[in-house]
Structure 1
Amino acid sequence: MTFSSSTANTGDKVALRAFAPTLILLVLAVLINYVDRGNLALAAPLLKIEWGMTASQLGILLSAFFWTYTALQFAMGLFVDRFGANRLMALGFLAWSLATVLTGAAMGFATLLTLRLLLGVGESVMFPASSKIMAQHLPEHARGFANGLMNAAMRWGSAIGTFGGGLLMAAYGWRPAFVAIGVVSLLWLPAWSRWKAPEAHITAHLDAAAPAFSAILRKRDFWGAASGHFCANYLVYFLMSWLPYYLVHERHLSMSAMSVAAGALWVVDSLSSIGTGTITDLCIRRGASPTLARKSAMALGFSLAAASLVGCALAGQQGYLPCLIACAVGSGAANAGTFAFAQTLAGPRAAGKWVGLQNGIANMAGVTGPALTGFLVDWTGHFASAFAVAAVITLGGAFAWCFGVSRLQQVDFS
């Protein structure tokens, strides 16, 4: 039996419409995820005053989340492939929301450190589970937009957290802000129970045939993707962790002005991500190879972001903001395809394990980057050296995606 292209296109549209509620909930989950992981950076200037913390201590707190988040990526990839993504998504969401609520009651450095570790445990399920779900339900020519939207949600989370959370903290203090954000987040769970996509009927068969971790680790494409993802994460976590502090302490903005400026930058980043994902999907539908379409976007995005970071390091008081805007455009383009690459290279049967491994390695950037930036700022007294280091690592991302990954097609594990 054969099918016409119009029949196939109709089937794709029906499947995409059926998946839309799940995609919306995944986007909301990522948004909340990034609000919750980024809100401590907003509180950093207040903690410095209230608890007398140094930049080095703040760097440790900001990186602590990534200790558990990164370590558990490897296990979560295995659990998602073996037990299914839907239930693990709900359990992880509950854990990280409760950690956010309890942060509002923290009484010292040790308690806050413990809660940041718990936050990392809960959030570690997000990307292995969401990538597994999208690899099962979305065709290649729809993954650019979906992953661009997911990446935009990361920026929306940072923007909403920075703008709304910053204003809440400025008006009521950091403790009530954490409690309010965590309680409101819990409303996502009933919606997920109602509108999540069913586990694919082929999941059990595919998981039984899923490749071992060692088979994935032997692939050059995996290491190219993991290296590129590390560089992308270093840029994002550098900005997410230290942009509020940089704008307040080095550029002398008020808390309210910082919230508006940083929030606007994340909006620019998100629009760039959605636009890039949509354009790459359109190119693929019109006959371009996924390799050419998605690698070109990576090369342009990383290169623009790296050049802009150098500009920030050299800019005076009037020139830093245009550089940050250009960096946001480049960051959005560079990050739009991060998980789309992984979903295609791994295929549905290995997506959980691959993304868990890739995201675990990539999030070493979160373990090292925020702390390294804190030490550099304490050592030099300003952010120029931190911007320079971030620029070099970001440029490395362009090389990793373009030359470390060969063709963008499902890897043969046989």
Structure 2
Amino acid sequence: MQRNPPAGPSGSRWVLLALLVASICINYVDRGNLSVAAATPAFRADLNIDSRDLGVLFSAFFFTYAACQILAGWLIDRYNVYHIITAGFALWSAATVMMGFAGSFLALLVWRLALGAGEAVAYPAYSKILAANYVEHQRGLANSLIDAGSRTGPAVGVLAGGLIAARYGWRMIFILIGLAGLLWLIPWLWQTARLRPPAAITSKAHALNEPGLLDILKLRQAWGTFIGLFCLNYSWYFILSWLPTYLTTERRYSTRMMAWYGSLPFWAVAATSILAGWTSDRLIRRGATPTRVRLACLGGGLSLNTLMIPAYLIDDQVLSMALMTVACLSLGVASSNLWAVSQTLAGPGAAGKWTGLQNAFGNIAGIVSPYLAGWLVARTGSFFMVFVVASAVALSGALSYWFVVRRVEPVSWRTP
């Protein structure tokens, strides 16, 4: 049987959590830099690429990101999770910088693949750390803070990247932001040198008593979370990849307008994620069941994401952006509770592997969504069908959590 995590996180745990939040913010700034660069006319002219090529570049990140998830989860459950994060962070930051020097489509493709491999360690590592150090009624806030960091990253990236591009050109987006991100390693290495990592599986006997990948894959609940994450990610990665281009092409925003107004939905989803995570924990502490609270947030948030369709159809710029912001913040309501569900179901001993599998499946959406969006835009000449497909997929995710996962309670692992 798994031991319960400590009832109250110490000051050092909150410092560690703050560093994790900062790391995921940087993670999403770096993966989203391409969407900001692509919104500038000089980018396409310099590299001679069209919408289909751009869809390939957006999707390429997720080939390695998804493929490396299972390996990352296995490594994190077996070795020092802090060391794994350090190596992954260094790799993805270096890849970000090198994209600024890319002189061709192929070079940019290679560095996007390297970026995906480095960033693959993040979520399995976070789940390992949070499942081991936070009890049920603390995980909503802890996960929502990390989720808010992932939503703040695109907001910072669109704003800072757009302003950098307007002044210095698209290449400096990657170079300046990539070098600045490396500074995070200094407090991270200092802090983790003083901490004992969550227990790793260090012996064959211990490993035999932990659930394996096949044990997880046999579970209905696991597949419900896999499908749910795929559906949420489909919409999120479309927004992350294509929103700046949509604003500059169909809505005719300038690069500066795109930087300011395009960042608003991401700020909104970050704030909403924190509020939803705090509220869900508060409700659970007062006696509400995790099943009712977590699944209400996930299903309701994914359902409201369909507001993207009226946001597209309305001509008024202000009202359209307001609806788009609400559609995006609904994803914050959903995602604030997403990993708390998985961590509760898996328990500390299987959190890394479960999250690795879930992220591997869920991030196939990152391959499909940006590429399909580029293909649809090239085929139809507009974003309308892209918004329709994303909304339908989001609704499917709500159904998966309501009718496939159904209950949020620890799995009883039958191990030798």
Secondary structure in 2 matching 1:409: coil
On the 8 A contact 1:30/1:154 being kept in 2, the answer is yes
Specify the code of the residue in structure 1 equivalent to 2:292.
L
**How many angstroms does 1:198 deviate by?**
2.0
Secondary structure in 1 matching 2:402: helix
**How many angstroms does 1:204 deviate by?**
4.1
On the 8 A contact 1:147/1:340 being kept in 2, the answer is yes
**How many angstroms does 1:177 deviate by?**
2.1
**How many angstroms does 1:110 deviate by?**
0.5
1:410 lines up with 2:379 in the alignment: no
Distance 1:52 1:94 in 2: 30
Counterpart in 2 of 1:314? 313
1:55 lines up with 2:51 in the alignment: yes
Counterpart in 1 of 2:156? 160
Query: Superposition pairs for residues 296-311 of structure 1, below 5 Å?
Result: 296-306=296-306, 308-311=307-310
Distance 1:201 1:151 in 2: 24
Specify the code of the residue in structure 2 equivalent to 1:91.
A
On the 8 A contact 2:141/2:277 being kept in 1, the answer is yes
Superposed CA deviations along residues 247-273 of structure 1, whole A, max 9, x for unmatched, are 000000001100111211111111111
Specify the code of the residue in structure 2 equivalent to 1:12.
A
Counterpart in 1 of 2:23? 29
Distance 1:325 1:362 in 2: 23
- Change in Cα spacing, 1:412 to 1:25, as seen in structure 2 (3 Å) is same
Superposed CA deviations along residues 48-70 of structure 1, whole A, max 9, x for unmatched, are 23333211110000110001000
Distance 2:282 2:39 in 1: 44
Specify the code of the residue in structure 1 equivalent to 2:142.
A
Distance 2:229 2:360 in 1: 10
1:392 lines up with 2:392 in the alignment: yes
Specify the code of the residue in structure 2 equivalent to 1:356.
G
**How many angstroms does 1:45 deviate by?**
2.6
Counterpart in 2 of 1:330? 330
- Change in Cα spacing, 1:224 to 1:92, as seen in structure 2 (3 Å) is same
Query: Superposition pairs for residues 83-162 of structure 1, below 5 Å?
Result: 83-162=79-158
On the 8 A contact 1:63/1:367 being kept in 2, the answer is yes
Superposed CA deviations along residues 239-296 of structure 1, whole A, max 9, x for unmatched, are 0000000000000000110011121111111111111000000000001111111111
**How many angstroms does 1:359 deviate by?**
0.5
Q: How many residues align?
A: 404
Counterpart in 2 of 1:12? 7
Query: Superposition pairs for residues 324-363 of structure 1, below 5 Å?
Result: 324-363=324-363
4+ residue runs of structure 1 moved beyond 3 angstroms? 201-208
Distance 1:368 1:182 in 2: 26
Counterpart in 2 of 1:226? 226
Distance 2:199 2:389 in 1: 47
Identity %: 40
Structure 2 residues without counterparts, runs of 5 or longer? none
1:43 lines up with 2:37 in the alignment: yes
Equivalent position to 1:199, from 197, 200, 215: 197
More moved, 404-413 vs 383-392 = 404-413
Secondary structure in 2 matching 1:348: coil
Distance 1:349 1:65 in 2: 29
On the 8 A contact 2:25/2:153 being kept in 1, the answer is yes
Structure 1 residues without counterparts, runs of 5 or longer? 1-7
Distance 1:219 1:80 in 2: 22
**How many angstroms does 1:335 deviate by?**
1.0
Secondary structure in 1 matching 2:262: helix
On the 8 A contact 1:313/1:388 being kept in 2, the answer is no
Distance 2:207 2:111 in 1: 33
1:69 lines up with 2:68 in the alignment: no
Specify the code of the residue in structure 2 equivalent to 1:23.
L
- Change in Cα spacing, 1:322 to 1:157, as seen in structure 2 (3 Å) is same
More moved, 341-350 vs 204-213 = 204-213
TM-score, length-scaled by structure 2? 0.94
On the 8 A contact 2:21/2:149 being kept in 1, the answer is yes
Specify the code of the residue in structure 1 equivalent to 2:309.
V
Secondary structure in 2 matching 1:252: coil
Distance 2:233 2:80 in 1: 26
**How many angstroms does 1:203 deviate by?**
5.5
Secondary structure in 2 matching 1:382: coil
Distance 1:310 1:252 in 2: 18
Distance 2:10 2:270 in 1: 22
- Change in Cα spacing, 1:354 to 1:137, as seen in structure 2 (3 Å) is same
Counterpart in 2 of 1:5? none
Alignment RMSD (CA, Å) = 1.6
Distance 1:77 1:202 in 2: 12
Secondary structure in 2 matching 1:106: coil
More moved, 127-136 vs 49-58 = 49-58
Counterpart in 2 of 1:4? none
Distance 1:172 1:345 in 2: 48
Counterpart in 2 of 1:381? 381
**How many angstroms does 1:191 deviate by?**
1.1
